Structure 1
Amino acid sequence: MAQAPATPDVDSGADAHPSERRGARCDLLAAVLAVGLIAIATAVGAYLNRARPDVVLWAPAAPLYGRWEPRFGLAVLFAALLAVAVIAWGPGLAERLRWRPALALTYVGAVGWTLSLALIDGWQRGLAERLDNRWEYLDEVPGVTDISAMLTGFTDRILLGEPDTWATHVAGHPPGALLVFVWLDRVGLSGGGIAALACVLVGGLAAVAVPVALHTLGAPDAARRMLPFAALFPGAIWIGASADGLFAGYMACAVAVLAFAATSKGPSRHVLALLAGVMLGFGVFLSYGFVLFGPLALAVVAYRRAWEVLPVAVVGALAVVAVFALAGFWWLDGYTTVVERYYQNLGAKRPFEYWVWANLAALAIMIGFAVVAGIRRAVADLLRRRWSAVVLVVGAALVAIIAADVSGLSKAETERIWLPFAVWLLPAAALLPRRLHPAWLTAQASVAVAVSLLVATPW
């Protein structure tokens, strides 16, 4: 697939080209429609929660999973100062700084942004207690004294009503997710606070891994343009702290390694392809839904026409599957049992006819209105067959999200569950006119701060 040629920044002057003005109006319309979708989902959710006791949303602040709880924390002042700094200087620094310092500054900004939003609720409530309760992974860590036995008997403990049923989040994921926290504990990094910080620090890698992948694929301008938007990602609310934040950072790194493989030459290409395959293979043992990273991996390979990378990566992924199978866990058995468990509980109670579209409202909140506007541009380019690295990765992420949505296995909590896919929508913001970046960044920060102050989320 041919690489799209670089185009000049036609909107850099005081007066934008008429076509750019029309595009900006369409961007604003897309954002307004997203606001409307969120408002309708919120109103319908409130109605169903109050007036229809026969309908169970299990989300008092639908379409978000949480409850309405207006509050104020001093950390919001730090979040505001950080947002002002990124809005004022971020776009300029992203263009002027050398690439590696720009990435380092973005990572520091993303981690600081995540921590400042989390600490609005204080250290204990905002971070330390997020992963240390009876529904989470840490509740099961002390009981894992024999990893081999845990893997062999993992599937037998998924269904409700079975002896020693796993905690909710452990049961809902393959054993790789639990292993991450077991390994942290084994090396002395135990406790809720450490686990939360691990999620934040690894989750923050998505803010650099995604632009690195774009840069590697031959879109350096887009990679630089997206950096401030990666730093002020509204989804940082759920990165700090949830295991899905950690998964987002890990999977972003896996795809970035695949991008390196697709653009490398010589023996290193196959080594990187094998490493990418192993990383992506382990990813499907973090979450069953990560099989949907297939379209994104294919988009990376197809964009560079590096088809010889694909079989090597597949071998690496299958090697991970074989290791788990030999250790006693067969992925397909776990998946079919999890689907049964899902419909034993919330899957049977939450109405698909609400969540199939309300999920998209939650997604709009999580990615922010700038990314919604950027997606409009990406889809328009896709329909015009204007191929670029941005269009392909955004399109692949949308395919994964739509597939997850219509599957019926994603009903609520998608602002957390879809984080690993949503970070690949961030490049869409690079398509927005450069002169409007400060305004769009302001919108991004405003969404994140408003949600943090109004909605109490368990992650």
Structure 2
Amino acid sequence: MATRTPTRTSGLRADLIAAGAALALVAAAIAVGFGAGVRLFGSTHFPGAPDSFGEWPVLAQWLPHVGPGTPLAVVVAVAGITWGPTLAQRLSWRRALAATYGLGIAWTFSLALVDGWTRGIANQLTSQDEYLAAVPGITDIPRMLETFAGRILDYQPDSWITHVAGHPPGITLLFVWLDRIGLGGGAWAAVVCVLVGGLVTVAVPTTIAALGDPDRARLALPFLALFPGAVWMGVSADALFAGVTACGVALLAVGAVRQRWALCFAGGVLLGCGIFLSYGLMLMGVIALSAVLVAGSWKALAWAVPGALVVVAAFLVAGFWWVDGYHLVVERYYQGIANFRPYGYWVWADLASLVFVLGPATAAGLRRSAVDGFLRLRPSATVAMTRGALLAVLAADLSGLSKSEVERIWLPFAVWLVAACALLPRRTHRWWLAGQAVLALAVNHLLLTNW
């Protein structure tokens, strides 16, 4: 009996079901937030906020609006959907990466400008809970590092403000340095975060291509450029975290494949810097290990680990021990918001929040990644890297230390999950890209996000 040859859109129905299931998860999270009257964030921590601010699975309020970025965002989206897939195949590799970076930066800035220059960009990092509020008071950097851990816990006269206390000193130190060289204030900080964060559009496909999957690396380019998570990349410091760590993984992967051990060492340094930007970025080790396993080079790890340890040693000599900071942050977390955010809700609603970041195309791509990984003894680089990112997300979710706000906190993991879109049938890419763009435009025009 003759067998039916699979079409180029084989599995499309299952893809649509996966995308629909992801959207259903979002609907369920919203329904519980509104229908059950759960105060998801708690007015205690956002005094004066409207009721709707505490009922969405993402930190936002219902506020339909348009702004100067609206026409630009639409133009960027249409250009990316129309020409992105074609140019990703036709341009030389370097030009394709450059074009993807440019499109991604334009997409992020245009979405941020929907809220206007002041609210969307210049003032986004200047609230009293953000890092920049602490910068004027830091006049002695060595003293700041020596006493940093002692000021993490709340309810003491010299406690750090929320975001400074909740992170290692690396990111605060970066903003202090920017201020010292004349790039102080919210606008410069925002621009730096977006420009560094945009490097994920180069680092992720570079990693996948280096590890032996160049065709899918090209296919992933438009999806990385029109990443729905750009709503939160512009502007949050977590965008910068994503850019730094993604570049670290890329250097490690390229170094491992080409046996350029200096690159592996440099990758380790960047990944080491990552854990001093955010404690949760220790989980980037899962993604980095995935790259090493695909490359099949344990020697690369032998060079990367010392690179990371150099950063750890530098901070230790300066007076800050990462382990002490981590334990104190966990204690501070349970001094406040952790007790007001129900684990039973967030352990699954966090994943709904992540759907806002990843979009329906990624849900469909992850379905294909799961199938491909199950059927193949040795999965492709794309599948291996998305699998590593998924493991990192699940670990962060189950830990209970990421209850809400993951739409920005998980950006460094999310950018690797989006690569799964490359597994979708090529002839469907423009339709999936349209879905991604529509989601981002809808979120940014219907909700006023906090980040």
Shared fold (TM-score, shorter chain, > 0.5): yes
The answer (yes or no) to whether the contact 2:358–2:414 under 8 Å persists in 1 is yes
SS, match of residue 18 in structure 1? coil
Q: Superposition pairs for residues 37-436 of structure 1, below 5 Å?
A: 37-49=25-37, 59-265=53-259, 269-385=260-376, 386-436=378-428
* Paired AA for residue 296 in structure 1: I
Aligned residues: 441
Q: Is the 8 A contact 1:49 1:55 kept in 2?
A: no
Residue matched to 2:50: none
Q: In structure 2, how many angstroms separate the alpha carbons of the residues matched to 1:22 and 1:147?
A: 58
Q: Which residue of 2 aligns with 1:440?
A: 432
| AA partner of residue 432 (structure 1) | L
How much has 1:130 moved relative to structure 2? Answer: 0.7
Cα deviation 1:389-437 (Å, max 9, x = unaligned) = 0011000000000000000000110000000010011110000000000
Amino acid at match of 1:450: A
Aligned mates of 2:102, 2:163 — CA distance in 1? 29
Q: Give the drift of 1:48.
A: 3.7
How much has 1:382 moved relative to structure 2?
A: 1.4
Report the CA distance between 1:195 and its aligned residue: 0.5
CA contact (8 A) 1:55 1:351 kept: no
Aligned AA (1:319): V
Q: CA deviation at 1:52?
A: 9.9
Report the TM-score when normalising by structure 2.
Answer: 0.95
| 2: CA distance, partners of 1:167 / 1:51 | 23
For residue 218 of structure 1, report the CA deviation from its aligned partner. Answer: 1.6
Q: Deviations over 1:70-91 (max 9, x none)?
A: 1122321111111111111110
AA at the equivalent of 1:170: V
Q: Does 2:16 align with 1:28?
A: yes
Report if aligned partners of 2:244, 2:271 keep a CA contact under 8 Å in 1. no
Matched residues in 1 for 2:437 and 2:195: separation? 20
C-alpha distance in 2 between matches for 1:303 and 1:51: 44
Unaligned stretches of 5+ residues in structure 1: 1-15
Cα separation, partners in 2 of 1:53 and 1:341, compared to 1, 3 Å: closer
Q: Is the 8 A contact 2:39 2:55 kept in 1?
A: no
Contact 2:82-2:430 at 8 Å conserved across structures:
yes
Q: Is the 8 A contact 1:49 1:60 kept in 2?
A: no
Match of 1:9?
A: none
CA distance, structure 2, for counterparts of residue 342 and residue 52 of structure 1: 16
Using a 3 Å threshold, how does the CA distance of structure 1 residues 27 and 199 change in structure 2: closer, same or farther? Answer: same
After TM superposition, give the deviation of residue 50 of structure 1 in Å. Answer: 6.3
Deviation at residue 22 of structure 1 after TM alignment: 4.2
What CA distance in whole angstroms lies between the structure 1 residues aligned with 2:431 and 2:423?
A: 14
Aligned equivalents of 1:361 and 1:57: distance in 2?
Answer: 22
Inter-CA distance 224–17: structure 2 relative to 1 (3 Å threshold): farther
SS at match of 1:67: strand
- The CA RMSD over aligned residues, in Å, is 1.8
Partner amino acid, structure 2, of 1:389: A
More deviation, 123-132/214-223: 214-223
Give the direction of change, closer, same or farther, for the CA distance of 1:36–1:185 in structure 2 (3 Å limit): same
Q: Deviations over 1:106-142 (max 9, x none)?
A: 1110000001100011100001111011100100111
Farther off after superposition, 57-66 or 28-37: 57-66
Query: Aligned AA for 2:350?
Result: N
Distance 1:51 1:161 in 2: 24
Residues 226 and 433 in structure 2, CA contact (< 8 A), matched pair in contact too: yes
Give 1:180's aligned amino acid: L
Distance 1:349 1:54 in 2: 6
Distance verdict in 2 for CA 1:129–1:259, change over 3 Å: same
Q: What secondary structure sits across from 2:431 in the alignment?
A: helix
**Contact 2:111-2:231 at 8 Å conserved across structures:** yes
1: CA distance between counterparts of 2:166 and 2:336?
Answer: 11
Q: Is the 8 A contact 1:55 1:349 kept in 2?
A: no
* Unaligned 5+ runs, structure 2: 47-52
Give the Cα–Cα distance (whole angstroms) in 1 for the partners of residues 317 and 417 of structure 2: 36
Paired with 2:41 and 2:210, the residues of 1 have a C-alpha distance of 52
TM-score using structure 1 length: 0.93
CA drift of 1:29 comes to 0.3
Contact persistence 2:231–2:440 (CA under 8 A): yes
The CA distance in 2 between the partners of 1:307 and 1:238, in whole Å, is 35
Distance 1:449 1:51 in 2: 26
